[in-house]
Structures are given as structure tokens and as C-alpha cells.
């Protein structure tokens, strides 16, 4: 991973750098799909809703393991949660810095951890709601609803951030999550 090849068919002067391995991509789109399915399609009290919830938890668990054993760009060490770095990154954006980050940029990293935590909270409260001990307990249900609302806000911010950073850095980020390769314009510094 992290290897560079000059793109033959891509835009002229762009370097194609492999960043997202297939497992990262499958987990990403699988999680997105399960959020979509459970948020919009399934019956909230149904068994399918529960299964999809467990699937989301499974995907999350896979990703967390992969964050330890996976290749460099997938590892937690490549995108530590650092509010300080995120603030500096914001300052850099304001100052016209167009550095390209090969893994998540510091703001994106915060969003990643935020979404993982929120999904974990959703799964935990969801499992509790189905358990005998917490069945029908109000605060659990309220926490589940609140976590879902927060997840929707996060998804909007996430998609907005991806669109914004694709324009700012000139790297089509959504495509990178599909193909695994970031196509970085030749004149951009890379971190």
C-alpha cells in the first residue's frame, strides 16, 4: 500500500496512490448500506432491523481489528484522533494550504471515530432494548433515538466534508473509496 504509479488513463500529471485496501472499502460501503437500510427501510421492531444492526456491529468489529493488524493507511496510527491537529488543519485550510493526506485528514479522522462511536452506541442500546433486563426502559430507547439523530447529522457532515475536501485538495475522495486509489494532482504536497 502507499505505492505510487503515474496514472496512464487518469488526468494528466496526477499520481495514483493506492490507499484504501479492499477490506476498508467493503466495510465502509457495508456500514453505509446497513445505516441506510436500518434508518429508512426496515421495521424498527422487526427481526430484520436486529439482524442488520448486528451486521453493522460485525462490520465495525472487523474494521477495529483491521485498524490494528491492517496495512499502514488503514491503521489507527495513521489517523490518531487529535482535536489539536484538526484545529491546525482548519487553520491550514483557511490559509490556503492544499496538502493532500494519504490516510484520513485530521478532521476526517475525528469524523471516522465519531461515526464508529455513534454506531457502537446505536448497536449497544439496540441490543439492550431487545434484552429482558432493559426491555421497555425509557432512557435506553431515548438514547437509541438520540444516537440515530446524531448519526444522521454526522452523515450529512461526513458527505459535506468529502465534497468540500475533494474540491479543496483536487483529489476525488469518493472515487478513492470505490477504487482504492487517490489520484493526487502532481503539484500537491502529500502527507
Partner 1 sequence: MTGRDPQARRAATLAALIVAQGLCAMFFVGDVIADIGVDVAESRFHLPLEAFVATVMIFGVIYFMIELRRLLSRMAEMDTGLRAARGDMAGVIERFFDDWELTPAERDVALMVLKGIDNETIAAVRGTAPGTVRAQCTRIYGKAGVDGRAQLLSVFMEELLAED
The three cell numbers of residue 7 are 496514472
| Total of residues contacting partner 1 (CB under 8 A) | 33
> Applying CB under 8 A, which of residues 32, 33, 37, 55 lies at the interface with partner 1?
55
Instruction: Confirm or reject binding of residue 121 to partner 1 (CB under 8 A).
Output: no
| Most distant CA atoms of the chain, gap in Å | 61
> Applying CB under 8 A, which of residues 10, 28, 30, 154 lies at the interface with partner 1?
30
Instruction: Confirm or reject binding of residue 88 to partner 1 (CB under 8 A).
Output: no
Instruction: Confirm or reject binding of residue 57 to partner 1 (CB under 8 A).
Output: yes
When computed from its CA atoms, the radius of gyration of the chain, rounded to whole angstroms, is 18
Residue with smaller CB distance to partner 1, 39 or 70: 70
- Interatomic CA distance for residues 151 and 74, integer angstroms: 22
Instruction: Confirm or reject binding of residue 120 to partner 1 (CB under 8 A).
Output: no
Residue with smaller CB distance to partner 1, 54 or 150: 54
Asked if 2 and 18 touch (Cβ cutoff 8 Å), the reply is yes
Choices 25-33, 101-109, 113-121, 138-146; region in contact with partner 1 by CB under 8 A: 25-33
- State whether the Cα torsion 105-22-149-173 is positive or negative: positive
Report angle CA 1, 64, 93 to the nearest 5 degrees: 65
Residue with smaller CB distance to partner 1, 42 or 179: 179
End-to-end alpha-carbon separation of the chain, Å? Answer: 14
Which ranges of 15-101 would DSSP assign to H, the alpha helix?
Answer: 22-36, 47-69, 83-94
Instruction: Confirm or reject binding of residue 52 to partner 1 (CB under 8 A).
Output: no
**Residues of the shown chain interacting with partner 1 in the complex, contacts defined by CB under 8 A:** 1-5, 18, 21-23, 25-27, 30, 54-55, 57-59, 61-62, 65-66, 69-71, 127, 130-133, 179-181
Amino acid at each position: 500500500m502507499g505505492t505510487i504509479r503515474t496514472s496512464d488513463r487518469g488526468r494528466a500529471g496526477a499520481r495514483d496512490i493506492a490507499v484504501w485496501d479492499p477490506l476498508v472499502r467493503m466495510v465502509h460501503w457495508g456500514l453505509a448500506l446497513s445505516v441506510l437500510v436500518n434508518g429508512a427501510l426496515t421495521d424498527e421492531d422487526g427481526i430484520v432491523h436486529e439482524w442488520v444492526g448486528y451486521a453493522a456491529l460485525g462490520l465495525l468489529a472487523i474494521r477495529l481489528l483491521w485498524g490494528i493488524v491492517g496495512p499502514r493507511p488503514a491503521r489507527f496510527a495513521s489517523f490518531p484522533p487529535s482535536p489539536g491537529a484538526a484545529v491546525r488543519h482548519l487553520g491550514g485550510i483557511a490559509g490556503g494550504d492544499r496538502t493532500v493526506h494519504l490516510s484520513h485528514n485530521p478532521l476526517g479522522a475525528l469524523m471516522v471515530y465519531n461515526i464508529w462511536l455513534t454506531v457502537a452506541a446505536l448497536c449497544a442500546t439496540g441490543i439492550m432494548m431487545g434484552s429482558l433486563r432493559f426491555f421497555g426502559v425509557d432512557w435506553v430507547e431515548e438514547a437509541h433515538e438520540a444516537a440515530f439523530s446524531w448519526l444522521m447529522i454526522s452523515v450529512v457532515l461526513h458527505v459535506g466534508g468529502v465534497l468540500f475536501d475533494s474540491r479543496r485538495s483536487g483529489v476525488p475522495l469518493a472515487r478513492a473509496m470505490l477504487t482504492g486509489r487517490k489520484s493526487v494532482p502532481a503539484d500537491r504536497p502529500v502527507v
